[in-house]
Amino acid sequence: MQIPFTVENREDTAVYNGKLGIWLFLASEVMLFGALFSSYIFLRVGSTNWPDGSSILNIPMATFNTVVLITSSITMVMSWVGLMEKNYKKFSLYMFSTILLGTIFLVVKYFEYTAKFEHHLFPSTNTFLAIYYTLTGLHVIHILGGLIVNGYHLLFGKKMWETEPQRFTNRIEVSGLYWHFVDLVWIFLFPLLYLL
């Protein structure tokens, strides 16, 4: 059975198909990160000599990255608002800002990783670092995915905006839901790994 593309909300689901699809995808992502967070908690509670993350990790860099990602969520919403206001220029400005902020996050994360590697702090060093690299590395992959999708919309979205504005607006809303999820994961990762 083929599920048709819809722009308007469907009567049976009360949302358009793209939005339903992203919510189902995000549910699977919650299970993935939930399993990793649970593993971290079980390993930490069961350990007798757990290293202090704040002595290994760079809290100021992570705090800066937290502000960057929260700001990128705001710019993502504003890009969608631009389309709702039929203002493509506003969309472009805020989408570019979102991509720039996501890129800044990755650059900071690169410097954070390389500093650890220079101090011989690898995933094989201890369980904490293995978990740290797994969780933050998976998060980085999700940021990269979001940047690719948002970059595609910014570079090639004009044509769809001119021919199917509602469909394009829906795509940005769906992309925004994914981006907010990625930001939310970081909001849990930051205190869990860096502060506790």
Distance CA 177, CA 143 (A): 13
Q: Are the beta carbons of 132 and 44 closer than 8 angstroms?
A: no
> pLDDT tens-digit profile of 43-92?
888 877 777 776 889 999 999 999 999 999 999 999 999 999 999 999 99
Query: Which sequence spans correspond to the domains of the chain?
Result: 56-195
Task: Give the number of other Cβ atoms within 10 Å of residue 15's Cβ.
Answer: 16
Residue type, 175: S
To 10 degrees, what angle do helices 88-118 and 59-84 make?
Answer: 160
- What band does 14 get if pLDDT is binned at 50, 70 and 90? low
- All residues at 6 or more sequence positions from 109 whose CB lies less than 8 Å from its CB, including other chains: 65, 136, 140
- Tell me which architecture the domain covering 56-195 has in CATH: Up-down Bundle (1.20)
